[in-house]
Amino acid sequence: MRVLLFICSFWFMTAWVQAAPEQQRADWAAVFDQHQASGTLVVLDQRGQQDQLWVHNPQRAQQRFSPASTFKIPHALFALEAGVVRDEFQIFVWDGVERSFAAHNQDQDLRSSMRNSTVWVYEQFAGLIGEQQARQYLQYSSYGNADPSTEQGPYWIDGALAISAHEQIEFLQRLYSNLLPFRLEHQRLVKDILIVEAGRDWILRAKTGWQGQYGWWVGWVEWPQGPVFFALNIDTPNRLDDLPKLEAIGRDILRSIQALPDNQ
Active site residues: 69
Q: Report d(CA 224, CA 203) in Å as an integer.
A: 10
Residues 6+ apart with CB under 8 A from 5: 181
CB atoms within 10 A of CB 26: 8
CA-based nearest residue to 181, from 81, 111, 83: 81
- Is residue 214 classed as helix, strand or coil in its secondary structure? strand
Q: How many residues does the chain have?
A: 264
One-character DSSP codes across 38-80:
-EEEEEEE-SSSS-EEEEESHHHHTS-B--GGGGHHHHHHHHH
